[in-house]
Amino acid sequence: MSLLIVRPHNAHKAYTIAAEEFCALCHKITGERPGIVTDVAAKEALPAHPSLQLVVIGGDDVNLLAREYKEMIPIPCGGEGYAVLSATLRGHNSLLLWGGRGRSTLYAVYRYFEVYLNCKWFWDGDKLPAADSLPMEDIRLTETTKFLYRGTRYFAHRGLHRFQAEHWNAEDWQKEIDWLVKKRLNLLMLRIGQDDLFQKAFPGMVDYPSAKESLPFTGDGFNDRTLFWDLRFRGDLRKQILQYAKDRDLLLPEDCGTMTHWYSRTPEDFLQKMRPSLLSQPAGTNYAESTGLVWDIREEENLDLYFRLTDTHVHEYGQSGLFHTIGLAERAFSQDREENLRLKLLTYRLICRRLREQYPGSKLLLASWDLWMFYTPEEVKALLAQLDKEQVVLLDYTADSARKSNYRTWSVEGSFPWIFGIFHAYEPSGEVRGDYPMLIGRLQHAKKDPFCKGMVFWPEVSHGDPFMTEFFAQNAWEVSEQPVEEQLKAFCTARYTHREELLALWEKVLPLAKLMSWSKYEAVTPWAETDIFCRAVYTLDFGQDDPLYDDYLLPLETHRYNAAESLRRIALLLGQEDDRETRDLYDLARTILTRYLNGLTLTLCRQYSHGEEVKETAEKLLRLLALYGDFLASNQEYSLFATLRALNETAPVNPNFTPTLKRNCDNLYCRSAVTECVLELYLPEVERLTEQLKAGKYDKEALVSFCKANQTAFEARPLIPTANKEHPARVLQQAAEVLEK
């Protein structure tokens, strides 16, 4: 086989990348590294080699050689569609990779290798076959999508490297963006803080903070935004990330309007020198500090200041005509609900007006979070009635909510442009979860709605659930009509070596996953959406029962023996699998363990509140929690020490950051599967709790006092490597025994 790749000489960089990617994949699969020439060179003269085969990158709007192909290709110029075609050009067998634009030409390259060579693309690595040659004949594939917007959002929480995008370095981001393109996604959004945007927008006024000290205006818990890397380095990294995405022709929404939030606070320098008027927040609520208050954009100069940030971002990083706003999210400015609503609606209109003036023809993605959290359906309808359907698209990343106020009661279907979004999980929820029957049913409606313009994935934690990640990516291109069982089977077949074993495990875990789907209830209870065992001291009253506990406890009992059997099967597979299977086996085991830790905690609460004997349940809870900590300790993905070490390998870390990292993980919102937190915080807390309950002397005030003192001590200690006490397979065997009892 002798291959020559012909790329456009004068087109978007994505076409050159498409040629280079084809060359690299061909080399990995066959061992041959094709040559690459421009279409101008190929037009003038091609080598006379009799067995020469051509790979033509791009359609006839960019590639001169493609114009010699006479058949009309039904691919709209500038669109998301593509074609992969066998052809004969100048007597040579040829393969045409014909995209509507740069990114869809990249889709064509990856789709060719996926369909005709069985390559598989996953966020944590590709699966490539070996072959003697690439197929070139009898190939005809033309595909497009209904959804204009298909993408992911990366959020600002901190903790463990795998789950928190702010921790990722340039190599991590390049791998992530490549995965987005391989999965035919087109939208990337970073909401991981503003980096050095204030310093660039207001030079000489806002100084760069010290890279070796805590931020002077920082808060506590997840509000502690003390930097780990120098802010100039972060700004350079952001530029590198966004340029890599732009080179692949991705959409990069720009934040605009009232951007102040807990992860994008106003620097004190700016407040002291510019003194913008601020919208007050009630004392004791989030964002009541001056750095968290929104500037009052009813005053035009404050709107100007906000848009200077947006304009600076556009100047520094470029833009794609797509903007995003959160409005006055999570805020309450008046006890008068109508007055509060009028202010919020005015804010949206002011932002829309400014975009029309400064960026005519642009689109605005209006985030649904505040609408889902605080608005009634009637209030959302009042907002949408005031917005221009030609300018605004409702970015509903809460479309998988089971609450009564959601897109289905907002009258957006068939009426207002909107995007179907899977929020999936809060920050603590880094394992398997989700109500797939509900999702699949709603997606069928979205598929038929001409006003549904896209599908997005906006979890607060990245890569926490491998199946949901793939489920989203597959359905974002074309909504499947298959039941979840068939989609799960396809996922396991593509991803695993031990396909049948992993499929059987997933089938047993999915009913447990559904128990913790987010926004499950209209009233947010302390145990329905995020794990309770790790903050039970704070959020449960062990003197009271709740009949809703049955919604959780009864299914747990139904699936208990299946769960124990699954832990044993996972134990048998550990050590036989590849890295991809290892990660997913840990995710499945963590899902089982956390569900039953929650169940034992709620059972303990119920028993104590009814005056029943609690000793046996208390001992099981302690035993299972200790095993959970030992299991996490056997894998560095769950180690804060390993995360901190990885940060230092990328760039020097602020010496004052370790307590911040601990505070970012150890607060009532963000507690999750962190080894150090389980062993040093959750376990001592549950030990003290069960001591009280067994003695019949429940004292919540004393428990909270103990926990806070222990947290302070935890924050003061240095991080050290976590020790693997026992082989993880043996730990799971012991955990299975606890479940069986």
Instruction: Give the pLDDT confidence of 18-27 residue by residue, as tens digits.
Output: 999 999 999 9
Q: What is the pLDDT, as a whole number, of residue 578?
A: 83
The amino acid present at 720, given as its one-letter code, is I
Pairing of strands 35-38, 322-325: unpaired
Q: What is the DSSP letter of 150?
A: E
Domain ranges in the chain with CATH number 3.30.379.10? 2-143
Q: Which residues contact 492 (CB under 8 A, 6 or more apart)?
A: 499, 502, 503, 506
Domain ranges in the chain with CATH number 3.20.20.80? 149-490
The CATH architecture to which 149-490 belongs is Alpha-Beta Barrel (3.20)
Structural class in CATH, domain 2-143: alpha beta
Which two three-digit tokens encode residue 574? Answer: 């550990």
> What's the rounded Cα separation, in Å, for the pair 134 and 29?
9
Pairing of strands 187-190, 149-154: parallel
Q: What is the pLDDT of residues 594-638, one digit of tens each?
A: 999 999 999 999 999 999 999 999 999 999 999 999 999 999 999
Q: What is the pLDDT, as a whole number, of residue 526?
A: 63
Q: What is the pLDDT, as a whole number, of residue 194?
A: 83
Pairing of strands 254-255, 187-190: unpaired
Query: CA quadruple 300, 304, 305, 307: dihedral positive or negative?
Result: positive
> What's the rounded Cα separation, in Å, for the pair 125 and 495?
10
Q: What is the pLDDT of residues 219-252, one digit of tens each?
A: 899 999 999 999 999 999 999 999 999 999 999 9
> What's the rounded Cα separation, in Å, for the pair 682 and 690?
12
Q: What is the pLDDT of residues 469-513, one digit of tens each?
A: 999 999 999 999 999 999 999 999 999 999 999 999 999 999 999
Q: Is the pLDDT of residue 525 over 70?
A: no
Angle at the Cα of 733 from the Cα atoms of 732 and 739, rounded to 5 degrees: 85
Q: What is the pLDDT, as a whole number, of residue 644?
A: 98
Give the bridge partners for 443, in sequence order: none
> What's the rounded Cα separation, in Å, for the pair 369 and 331?
11
The amino acid present at 559, given as its one-letter code, is H
Q: What share of the chain is helix, strand, coil (3-state, %, to 5)?
A: 50, 10, 40
Is there a contact between 700 and 541 (Cβ–Cβ < 8 Å)? yes
Is there a contact between 587 and 466 (Cβ–Cβ < 8 Å)? yes
Interaxial angle between packed helices 337-358 and 300-317, expressed in degrees from 0 to 180 and rounded to the nearest 10: 50
Q: What is the pLDDT, as a whole number, of residue 286?
A: 76
Model pTM score: 0.97
Mean pLDDT of 192-202: 93
Mean pLDDT of 318-344: 92
Q: What is the DSSP letter of 278?
A: B
Q: What is the pLDDT of residues 627-638, one digit of tens each?
A: 999 999 999 999
Q: What is the pLDDT, as a whole number, of residue 282?
A: 78
Give the residue ranges of DSSP H helices in 375-454.
377-384, 436-448
Strand order across the 322-325 sheet? 187-190, 149-154, 452-457, 418-422, 392-396, 363-367, 322-325, 254-255
Beta strands in 169-318 (DSSP E): 187-190, 254-255
Q: What is the pLDDT, as a whole number, of residue 281?
A: 84
> What's the rounded Cα separation, in Å, for the pair 603 and 595?
12
Instruction: Please report, to the nearest 10 degrees, the dihedral formed by the alpha carbons of residues 51, 52, 53, 57 taken in order.
Output: 180
Q: Which residues contact 64 (CB under 8 A, 6 or more apart)?
A: 8, 39, 40, 42, 43
Query: Between 528 and 30, whose confidence is greater?
Result: 30
Helix H or strand E segment including 149: strand 149-154
